[in-house]
């Protein structure tokens, strides 16, 4: 059976190389979002929001054109 990206070996390899770096950032982002959701202190919410936005940028940079 044909597999996804069988006809795109360069893209498949690129994703395979990037995933070990991007996957931990996904878990960090989830943890940050959970903390943000439960935070009442406005100053702490601002810091967590900045961290979430940084994680979005980091994941986007890691995915480049594969995401």
Give the model's pLDDT for residue 3. Answer: 87
Give the model's pLDDT for residue 67. Answer: 55
Give the model's pLDDT for residue 63. Answer: 86
Give the model's pLDDT for residue 1. Answer: 76
Cα 1 → chain centroid: 30
d(CA 30, CA 36): 10
Q: What is the DSSP letter of 1?
A: -
User: Which of helix, strand or coil describes residue 9?
Assistant: helix
- pLDDT tens for residues 1-55? 788 899 999 989 988 999 999 999 999 999 999 999 999 999 999 999 999 999 9
Between CA 45 and CA 31, with CA 37 as vertex, the angle to 5 degrees is 95
């Amino acid at each position: 059976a044909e597999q996804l990206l069988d006809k795109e070996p360069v893209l498949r390899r690129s994703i395979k190389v990037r995933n070990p770096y991007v996957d931990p950032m996904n878990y960090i982002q989830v943890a940050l979002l959970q903390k943000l959701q439960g935070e009442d202190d406005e100053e702490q919410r601002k810091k967590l929001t900045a961290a979430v936005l940084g994680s979005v940028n980091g994941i986007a940079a890691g995915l480049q054109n594969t995401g």
